[in-house]
Structures are given as structure tokens and as C-alpha cells.
Amino acid sequence: MSAPLQFMPRRTSKASLEEMAAITPILAQLRFSDDDIVRLLSVNTPGGLEALRQAAYDLTTAEVGNKVFYRGIVELSNICVLDCYYCGIRKSNRDIERYSLTKDEVIETALWCAEAGYGSCVLQSGERRDKRFVDFVEDCVRKIKTRSVSETLPQGLGITLSLGEQRLETYQRWHAAGATRYLLRIETTNRELFRKIHPEKQSIETRLQALDDLKSAGFQVGTGVMIGLPGQTLEDLAADIRFFEGRDIDMIGMGPYLMSQGGAMRTEGMLEKHKLMPLALKMIAVTRLVLRDVNIASTTALQALEHDGRERGISFGANVTMPNITPRAVRKNYQLYDNKPCTDEDTEDCRSCLEKRVVSAGREVGWNEWGDSRHFGRRQSGSI
């Protein structure tokens, strides 16, 4: 099945035709050189963009199917011990009200996913490593797992964690409690850029070690980057894709870099929307072409740029979306970036709105399914 053409104007310009001719042989390849990746990321005509989109969309259908899977996000606390310069809830931002959901609130919110047919939830939070927090998460995971078992979900909800860098032992405990997927974004693999957007004591080595530890703890491992960071080049983004490939990553969650008033990078500005959106979409498409069978999320940040940003992400090769189900009373306090969408929608409204978005991108919703990464399955069975 093919999603409706979105970027082809009625009359195809000479530049579009030339670019389509130039990239068609690259799109037909199974393996891509660094130059190929940069070439595809630099596509800049409607025809070239549409050819890239169609190739990524068709490969998604062939490799991971026609379904889009939901993971309801529970933002359980905005307390964070770190200070990433791009982030609106970093510890130095004194202008937000800090909150932590109670255990019952976390569990009940997650269980709403099971009733709504979402199949999976994500527990996300600012970073904390203290014993109380580690125990809290372990208990939430165990209880969500047990209480969500039903006829439609015989193994309970799929649980993804997005709780930052932790010790190997912590990852092992949370995995044993029933969480099976973990998202930890590298943000950028360019070491110089990483240093610029983080305080000195947050090192890329620690992040890399954490990604290794997650794999050895048995998780399906997800990572991702920010697209359009000040100073970032197309070669950097190509290297990011190579990094995902080299690390045998199972899931990708990446989105455009959006400035935050609570962050410490306000003077650097951000890419204009008309450049940032296509760049983010091209990253999704090229990542799909290179990695093939991984799960790729169409993130909320895309929707912050354009009202149909999530549909566009799906149309360019994403097969996962993560609706926010955090209780509305605290949702406004989890602003990682400015103008985060869906901070005021009711979760029920969000459910039907999202289904329309998925269908409009030519896909169907994988109700009551975990939608695990096929790449992980193949990695586990030793077939790759």
C-alpha cells in the first residue's frame, strides 16, 4: 500500500526531475556508502523528497508491516539531577514547578493504556539514580505488569523505560521486574557537539557504556539524536545513522531540535521550520533505508513543528507513535522544549485523534499489540 503523494506539485520542475534521476539508483541499493547517506539527506526538491519518502514508506511496509504501534507515555516526574543545556526541565531551571506522580497514579495511568488497547506504555522521567527512585520504578513496573494481564493482553502491557543513565544492576532489576525496552538517546555522536550541549561532567563515554549495559541486561535498546542542532552538519547526521547501524540498535526515537526557554541554548537559536521539518523527515527516511527492520518513532516534537508532523513521520518510515497520557494537571510542567503539543488534550480525545492521523498516513493501528522491534527478534535468534 502506498500513502498519498504529499510533496509532488502538479507540475514537476526540471530540478525535481533531475534530482529524482540522480537518487533513483541510490534508492535501489541495499547498502549505502557515507556519501550516499549524505546525498539522500541533502535532497532539496519536492520530487527528490517524494522519491525518498516513497522508498522509505515501501521498505517500512516490506520490513515491519503496515501497522503503527502505540506506546502511551507516562511522564512520572520532572525532577532531574542533570543539566542538559537544551532541556526545559534541567535541574538549573528554577522557573518550573517540580512534581512526582504517586505510585498509584503511575500504575493507574499506565493501566489506562491496557484498557484503551494501546498494548504498551513508556515510563519516562527526569534522571534520578537514588535508591528510593530505583525501588519506586521497580515496584511500578512489577505491578503494571501483573495488573495489566487480560485476555487481550495475556502477557500484560509491553513496558518501555526512558529513565536515563543508570547502573547495570539497576537495568537488570528493572528488566527482571518486567520492562523489556529502554530508550536512551545519544543526542549526537559528534563528540565536540555533545560537549557543547552538556555540562562537562556528563560525558559521552558514560552514555555509551549505559547503552552497552542495557544490551547486556537484555533490553531491546533504543537511541536517537536531535536533528538540526546549532553547528550540526549533514555529515554529523550521516555519522549518527552509521552509529545506530554499528551498535545494532533495535529502536530509534529522534526528533527536531526545538529551543526551550528553560534551556541554556537560547542565544544559539534554532533552524527555521521550513528547513527543520524536511530535515527531520529525511533523517527518518534514510534511517529506515539503512537500518531496515528497526522500530522508528514518529515523535511529538514533529507535531510541535507542524500540526500533521506525526503523520508525516509515519509517511516517511516511522512505525511507532507515543501519545502522552500523563495526567493533565502536571503535563504542562514536562516541557522539554517550547510549544510542546497535546499538553491539554484529554487522553480519550487523543486516542481518536491519533487513530485518524495514522489512517491518514495509509497505515492501521496495531491495537493490543506490543509491536516489538523485528530487529531485536532477529538479533536474539542469531539470524543477523
127 binds ligand SF4 (CB under 6 A): yes
The number of angstroms, rounded, from the C-alpha of 8 to the middle of its chain's C-alpha atoms is: 27
Q: Which amino acid is at 183?
A: L
The number of angstroms, rounded, from the C-alpha of 193 to the middle of its chain's C-alpha atoms is: 20
Work out how close the CB of 80 gets to ligand SF4 at its nearest, in angstroms, rounded to a whole number: 3
126 binds ligand SF4 (CB under 6 A): yes
89 binds ligand SF4 (CB under 6 A): yes
Q: Which one, of 12, 3, 84, lies nearest residue 48 by Cα?
A: 12
Cell readout for 34 is 557515507
47 binds ligand SF4 (CB under 6 A): no
Work out how close the CB of 337 gets to ligand SF4 at its nearest, in angstroms, rounded to a whole number: 10
Among 41, 49, 73, 82, binds ligand SF4 (CB under 6 A): 82
Query: Which residues are CB-contacts of 318 (< 8 A; sequence separation ≥ 6)?
Result: 60, 68, 284, 288, 296, 297, 298
In the complex with ligand SF4, which residue's Cβ is closer, 148 or 326? 326
The number of angstroms, rounded, from the C-alpha of 101 to the middle of its chain's C-alpha atoms is: 23
| DSSP three-state, residue 70 | strand
The answer to whether 305 and 258 are in contact (CB under 8 A) is yes
In the complex with ligand SF4, which residue's Cβ is closer, 84 or 318? 84
In the complex with ligand SF4, which residue's Cβ is closer, 127 or 311? 127
259 binds ligand SF4 (CB under 6 A): no
In the complex with ligand SF4, which residue's Cβ is closer, 20 or 226? 226
Report long-range pairs for 201-208 (Cβ below 8 Å, ≥24 apart): 202/82, 202/83, 202/84, 206/165, 207/165
Work out how close the CB of 140 gets to ligand SF4 at its nearest, in angstroms, rounded to a whole number: 18
With contacts defined by CB under 6 A, name the span among 53-61, 75-83, 108-116, 153-161 that binds ligand SF4.
75-83
> Cβ-count burial of 311 within 10 angstroms (0-12 exposed, 13-18 middle, 19+ buried)?
buried
Strand partners for 162: 124
Among 23, 27, 74, 84, binds ligand SF4 (CB under 6 A): 84
Among 48, 72, 158, 164, binds ligand SF4 (CB under 6 A): 164
87 binds ligand SF4 (CB under 6 A): yes
Residue numbers at the binding site for ligand SF4 (CB under 6 A): 80, 82-84, 87, 89-90, 126-127, 164
